[in-house]
Structure 1
Amino acid sequence: MVRRKLISTSIALCFVVLSVTGVLSFFFNYDFRVAAVHTIFGFLFLLGALFHIRNNWSGLKNYLVSKGPKGSFVLVGILFLLVLGMSFFNFGPISELMEFGTKMRANQSREIEKDEFILVDFGRDLPNRLEIELIAGQHYWHPQMAIWLEDVDGNFISSLYVTHATAKGTFFGGRTKENFKSFDAKKSLSQEFRRVDALPVWSHKRAEVQADGLYAPSPEHPLADAVSGETLPSSFRFLTTVADASKHVLLRLEINVAFDDNEFYSEFDFPEDEVFHSGTGQLGQPSLIYEAILDIGNRNKKYYLMELIGHGHHSGKDGFIYHNMETLTTSKEIVERVLVKIEVTSP
């Protein structure tokens, strides 16, 4: 009897904690502590539920095999499957509820974190406003970055923003893992190199081959100033506009931080890969790829979360997206969240 009371009390306490952290996660921005508490107590709740089922198996079995009316069980089963399906496919009122929560978190972040964001306004004379809000994670440090659009078939449409060092084909040599954070003060004494392996997915997707056979922009053929900008040192909001409001488009973001090596991407790995070990190419972990499919013509859907879908080649040899994330460690903490907002103004 004491054991039954202990298990029931534990389940009730876990339920309270899960309810509170669930509500906090819905209405407020992501917080590691809230997420950790919610996850741990979720596992404890599951463990307690298993003990509860074992202790009450006889009674539960009688409920299931009793000869009484089955209508209530069938109704509960149908409602359960209905809610599960609507949640999984983001359909109907579930979609509206999640959209409401996303909007609440977005507005809350604007009020609380306003002074912590860099504003990058690349607004052009196009009808539909696109806002990308990136919250920097623990290992965000002056990354190389590209943001671009593709159609749903994967065909490149246009670049929206590319950091200067990659866009212009220059990167100051002489940096090492030890002096990387202090090197900018004396970079005028160094040479310049191309970062051919920083953003390989974006550079290959553009399909513009340089004279040396590489895809990254070169100093002789740099990217236009209209889509290139400074390396952003902290969280930012990027504002731009897009033209076509009649179809779905694929928004992608590629990001890479230098010298974040780990046990899989270090000075001892890929000994035959000259680009990876060439100094400027020793970037450590490869670039990360985030994406979101935008339904620009849907006026009822304004907010999208970009998802981490994979990484680029560690030395930029190809433009494939590799979905195996097991070798990545700190690089997955470069970005905490990327939220996209669309305001459609065209007819």
Structure 2
Amino acid sequence: MAVRRDGASVHMELATGAAAAVFDGRIDGNSLAGTFTQGNASGTFLLTRGVELTAAPTPPPPYREEEVRVSNGDITLAGTLTIPAGGGPFPAVVLITGSGPQDRDEDIFGFKVFRTIADHLTRQGVSVYRYDDRGVGSSTGSLNVATTADFAGDALAAVGMLRSRPDIDARRVGLLGHSEGATVAAIAAFRSADVAFVVTLASPGVRGDEVLRQQAADGARALGAGEEVVARIVAAHRQATDAVRMGQSAESLASVVMELVGAQYDSFPAAQRAAAGDRDAFVARTYRAGVAQLGTPWMRFMLDFDPAVALRLVRCPVLALFGSLDTQVVPSPNQANVRAALAGNADATVKSYDGANHLFQQARTGLVTEYATLEKAFVPGLLDDLSAWIRLVTGR
């Protein structure tokens, strides 16, 4: 992470495999206020010093937990395997996180998405393996030099580990992927017949550049931007991603990325623009991170890959779940495209949860900016649907 302080002003940048995270703020006593941007997500924040709280002790779960490492070539993945009580062998599922650096719990604004799923499924007799992404926690490697297809290799390595264990039924090992992880699961499933079933949560159904463009437009509208500014953002975004898809070097994209960043600045509310400072200075200090990100192997693959192609090739049972208020993988056209891609699979089920956001929380708007304010729980019925379907297709 790069941190720069100039008097009361603070600028921080963190390069990630998905998008550079940039924070600009000002210190005022015990508070730090400013703007945060990462890719197409942006918002204003006020951070204050708090009192450390001591959590009440929790009883141990009614199942076993093991720290298990998995190798995929020169990459080592560190994760947690939860094993139900009683006699096996058990069906099992590998959990695959969404884009960006995620730990094994897929902890997003305090909601431990994968820990919650793992706990529920294990209590229902299904063993679960969840692991830190490359370069996160105790896992080696780097997201910056890997692609979605590489992550499918990681998932299959985890499947192989589970299939080798005597307490796991090798014929009943599946994958559950969230967001980009859903695409990873689809790629892995059509590559290998070892995958017995697939669950996708908020699966993209269109090419990656279309997903990001929709996020950029919707994010600007959520900030109150007019359609003229939104149109500028969309045009600059299309120009940049089309250039990348045609193989142009990231270095040649400086001018169009500067235009995109400038248009995004113009979409900020007045308070956010004031916190970000001078427009030209904001563009100058942030556009290079956008150029660098467009040049990563992950981004180049993501922009050009259509997840529906992979889903059409999956022959094992599939459960595809969506949230009606998802603003990151919007229901239209993603859900319709996923449904069409799975039309030839007699064992595919598609379901949407009314009022659920991208994390499948009960939401008000679905916007990323409200994630942290929502209850750290799934919409009613989701966990029961997951365990019931997995038990059905595995005959458990």
Instruction: Specify if TM > 0.5.
Output: no
Structure having the higher Rg: 1
TM-score, normalised to structure 1, is 0.25
Tell me which of the two structures has the higher relative contact order, counting C-alpha pairs closer than 8 angstroms and 6 or more residues apart.
Answer: 1
- Larger helix proportion, structure 1 or 2? 2
TM-score, normalised to structure 2, is 0.22
